[in-house]
Amino acid sequence: MEIYGLAEAIECESAYAVAKKVEVSPPVVHEIFGQCLKFICKRDGEAEITKELDDKTKSKCESPLSHRNLGDKIKANSFYVLKQGIKAVKVKKVHFSGAHNAREFKTDSYTFAEIVKPFPAGMNFKLTLPKDSKYISPFKKLGK
C-alpha cells in the first residue's frame, strides 16, 4: 500500500529507500532506539518495507500512523529514516526518473521512516492524527 500523508510512517526490520537527495548524519543517540543513523531524504522519494518486524504488535515508537506490513511504502517530497545501530550503510547513485539521478540505500536492522513534507496540497492528503493524541515524532526526540 502506498502512503502519502503527513506524519505517516513505516516500521520494519529492513527497508529500501530512494530519493533525489540523501543526507546522512553521524551516529546520534535517540531516547527510544539508542544509537542510530539518521537519513534525511529530500526532493521526491520513497521508502518501502522489505522485511517485516517479527512481532508487528510491538511498535517501538507507538505511532498511531505507523504501517508495518510487507510492501507498505511511503512516498513524499521529504521524509527521514532512522536506522537502529551505527553500522554504516552504503548510499548508491541510481537512475530514478527521466533525466534525474537519485541515491538509494537499504537498511538491515530496525528502521523507522516518517513523512515530513508530503507531496503538494493538491493531492488532498491531510494529517489524520486525533486531536487529543499525545504522539510526538521520534525525529523530534533526537538528542542534541
Whether 122 has a pLDDT exceeding 50, the answer reads: no
Tens digits of residue pLDDT in 12-69: 999 999 999 999 989 999 888 899 999 999 988 999 999 999 876 577 877 788 899 9
Q: Strand, coil or helix: what is 69? A: coil
Q: Which amino acid is at 113?
A: A
Contacts of 98 (CB under 8 A, 6+ apart): none
To which residue does cell 532512522 refer? 82
Whether 143 has a pLDDT exceeding 90, the answer reads: no
Does the predicted model carry a pTM greater than 0.75? yes
Q: Angle CA(27)–CA(31)–CA(37) in degrees, nearest 5?
A: 20
DSSP readout, 31-55?
Answer: TTTEEEEEEEEEEEEEEEEEE--SS
Q: What is the DSSP letter of 123?
A: G
